[in-house]
Amino acid sequence: MSTEFKLFANTPLNLEDLLASELESLGATNIKQIKAGVHFSGTLETIYRVCLWSRTANRVLLPIKEFLAESKEELYNSIKLIQWENIISPEDSFAISSKISKSLIANERFAALVVKDALVDYFRDLTGKRPDVEKNRPKVQLNIHIHNDMATISLDLTGESLHRRGYRLDGSSASLKENTAAALLYRSNWKEIAQSGGAFIDPMCGGATLPIEAALIAGDIAPGLYRTYFGFYGWKKHDVDLWGKLWDEAEERKVAGMKTIPPITGYDQDGRVIARAFENIKRAGLSGIVHVEKRELSDLRKIDTWTVPGLITVNPPYGERLGEIENLRSLYRSMGDIFKERFPSWKVTMITSSPELSKSTGLRADKTNTIYNGPIKCILARFSLASEGSRVKHIEHIDVRPLEERFDAGTISFVNRISKRKKHLAKWAKRSGISSYRLYDADLPDYNVAVDLYEDQWVLVQEYAPPKEIDPDVADKRVKDIMTVLPEVLQLHRSHIFLKTRRKQSGKSQYDKFSKEGKREVMHEGGSKFWVNFTDYLDTGIFLDHRIVRSMIKEKAHNKKFLNLFCYTGTATVHAATGGAKSTVSVDSSKTYTDWARDNMALNGFGERKHKYVKEDCFTFLKSCRDRFDLIFLDPPTFSNTKSTRSTFDIQRDHVSLIKLAAAKLERDGILIFSNNFRKFKIDLEALDKLNIEEISESTISEDFKRNKRIHKSWIISLK
């Protein structure tokens, strides 16, 4: 008669029912669900089947002993009383993971060290030898769990979480874990849809986790087949023959199941992630079965041969703050329109952290579940596109009451200020030939936003961090009021008004993507055209406050060799080229921005024969560059870090060395224009005494920024 073990498997929160069903189908008994896990009983064969076939479990633990542990001494003594020679040999390696909550022993690392010491001392006393600690794939993995001072020491039979299937190279934090993706597909009844011949589409597939998991489910492929390591490999009760038999059975089922997989397709607008998806699919052995390609959401269509209704499953951008949510509404609305119009009778499953965004699709959910994507609490919404009632019409409810009756006095003051500034600046902009300008810049302390008007048709609202004394709910309400009232005041459609939230940035987070819409518009300045993007990044692609500096560059660039350091999107380069520069070099450590700079130049008709784009850290470039330039524009960020060199840049700390390096690349009569946006910046004239330095900040602040004269500081620098 086979020995039956008492076991525990954990899983992400709210997936306990799915795990319980899986365990039952794999031969488990005495199943009892608890928060984030399931207790069960099973034979050695059951253990192997769970480790090989479970799609939703994280780890499978075999409890060794439970005891009270209110102190280091109690923990140590209890561990040392265990007969460890029945579990591990002194020649083996081991590691210990720990989890503690609501206990007198509070430090997880400390608890793991105590357990380690007790185990090592046990073997030293018994044999004079000790097993070694090996953090990376040890022979035996142990787990100590302490809750309310009750400790459980367990053998971790999986060794590392089962969600790590082994096929995925993608480490993106935005990706769903493999077991969460599988749970999403279970909730979507994908197995039944696949068995009926329905196809699968993920329109924002990223590294293809969802399409791959869909293929594994449809093809009856054990997710454990991709793993090369399990914790039970070093367990003394491990039965190699039984494990081999079950592995061979899984391989046979895979061969048969691969022939039954329906069409599975993933799309993404980002070619870089599609390349990663191809690699993941290859590692999963699904090349030629799971198809992925670069495609915009707007181009999403089903294949004519797909006659059976299928499943669309999507993990779109969430938007964790108000500004991001506002900007993503149009994306979600587009998804709803496309799904309803082009995929009648299909099912749709969407995961998002925002109920507002889910409703923005205009689709009425048949059912919702709470699910966690890592630490983010999300809604899993399921829609049927078959019924007429599934579509919720977008109706604009127009409130005809006067603004004074609909908004408080503060919002009315904001409206009056915007109206006054618009009237004044519109005349100035027309006289000056300016199409885009700052309309409002935190003029009223309680309405802490900047409002930029582009081409009289788009508006970017930038919410600054509210003062600490302002209640966050009050600040959010004011921003919502601003976004509600601006379409009326400026006579623009609300879809042309975008909200971003500005906070103190760290590292390269100021360059992180907010969205994946990829939609760009064209704005005009000084006779040139520029691509701007209102949704995907914190900044649009052009800094309006540098308008005068760019004009200066254009005037000085004729027949000059121009260098643009920290070039961003190359707007200064375009002006230099328009001004007749002999040649230009644009340098930035971001490929996104060097590509954007190239696009801006192409938009204005400039080829690449005289114009170069260098993706490199500017310090590195200056140290290795042998060319000299007549005109250099140096506009560095306040702070940044560089992954390739693991170094940081701080404008106040590093400006002297940066300016010296840049000035060393000037021709004898060359000019360096230096600028930055750090409001507390002080240039070290003493350290730069070998250079001619003239501050021109005041003359570079245009009419729309005069209320904020610290928006940037600028200098003209030349050689003495």
**Which range has the worst mean pLDDT, 114-118, 184-188, 515-519?**
515-519
Cα three-residue angle 23-27-28, rounded to 5 degrees: 55
Q: Per-residue pLDDT for 511 more than 70?
A: no
3-state SS, residue 283? helix
Q: How confident is the model at residue 503 (pLDDT cuts 50, 70, 90)?
A: low
Q: Per-residue pLDDT for 171 more than 80?
A: no
Q: Per-residue pLDDT for 388 more than 70?
A: no
Measured CA to CA, the distance from residue 43 to residue 7 in angstroms comes to 10
Average pLDDT over residues 233-261: 95
- Phi, psi (deg, nearest 5) at residue 499: -120, 130
588-646 pLDDT tens trace: 999 999 999 999 999 999 988 899 999 999 999 999 999 999 999 999 999 887 654 55
Q: Give the pLDDT of residue 509.
A: 41
Question: Quick one: which of 465, 574, 499, 583 has its CA closest to 530?
Answer: 574
Q: Identify the bridge partners of residue 632 per DSSP, sorted by sequence position.
A: 563, 672
36-87 pLDDT tens trace: 999 999 999 999 999 999 999 999 999 999 999 999 999 999 999 999 999 9
Helices (H), 209-307: 209-218, 240-257, 271-283
Q: Which domains does the chain have, with CATH numbers?
A: 5-156 (3.30.2130.30), 178-224+251-390 (3.40.50.150), 403-503 (3.30.750.80), 535-719 (3.40.50.150)
Q: Give the pLDDT of residue 14.
A: 95
- Cβ of 348: how many Cβ atoms within 10 Å? 25
**Which range has the worst mean pLDDT, 45-49, 302-306, 316-320, 631-635?**
316-320
Q: Per-residue pLDDT for 466 more than 80?
A: no
Average pLDDT over residues 649-667: 96
Q: Give the pLDDT of residue 518.
A: 59
Question: Quick one: which of 489, 471, 476 has its CA closest to 413?
Answer: 489
Measured CA to CA, the distance from residue 597 to residue 5 in angstroms comes to 63
Most confident range (mean pLDDT) of 316-330, 389-403, 495-509, 612-626 is 612-626
For residue 629, what is the enclosing H or E element? strand 629-634
C-alpha Rg value of the chain to the nearest Å:
31
Measured CA to CA, the distance from residue 541 to residue 160 in angstroms comes to 43
Measured CA to CA, the distance from residue 139 to residue 144 in angstroms comes to 17
Strands of 25-131 (E only): list them: 29-34, 37-42, 59-68, 93-101
Q: Give the pLDDT of residue 520.
A: 85
* Residue 113 identity (one-letter amino acid): L
CA 28 vs CA 170, 182, 343: distances in Å: 33, 20, 40
Mean pLDDT (the chain) is 90
Q: How confident is the model at residue 386 (pLDDT cuts 50, 70, 90)?
A: low
Instruction: Report the predicted TM-score, pTM, of the whole model to 2 decimal places.
Output: 0.59
Q: Per-residue pLDDT for 427 more than 60?
A: yes
Residue found by looking up tokens 């998002």 in the block: 352
Tokens of 593: 């921005």
Q: Per-residue pLDDT for 505 more than 90?
A: no
- Cβ of 93: how many Cβ atoms within 10 Å? 17
554-579 pLDDT tens trace: 999 999 999 999 999 999 999 999 99
**Which range has the worst mean pLDDT, 211-220, 543-552, 634-643, 687-696?**
634-643
Tokens of 368: 């919702």
Question: Quick one: which of 610, 626, 530 has its CA closest to 572?
Answer: 530
Q: Give the pLDDT of residue 392.
A: 43
DSSP 222: -
Residues 68, 74: contact at Cβ < 8 Å?
yes
Q: Per-residue pLDDT for 229 more than 50?
A: yes
Cα three-residue angle 366-369-374, rounded to 5 degrees: 140
Q: Give the pLDDT of residue 399.
A: 56
Residues 528, 604: contact at Cβ < 8 Å?
yes
Residue found by looking up tokens 């360059």 in the block: 511
Residue found by looking up tokens 């000790």 in the block: 130
DSSP per position, 477-538? HHHHHHHHHHHHHHT--GGGEEEEE-----TTGGG--S------EEEEETTEEEEE-SSSSS
Residue found by looking up tokens 């199409």 in the block: 435
Strands 200-202 and 264-268: parallel
Q: Give the pLDDT of residue 502.
A: 67
324-361 pLDDT tens trace: 666 677 788 889 989 988 999 999 999 998 888 888 88
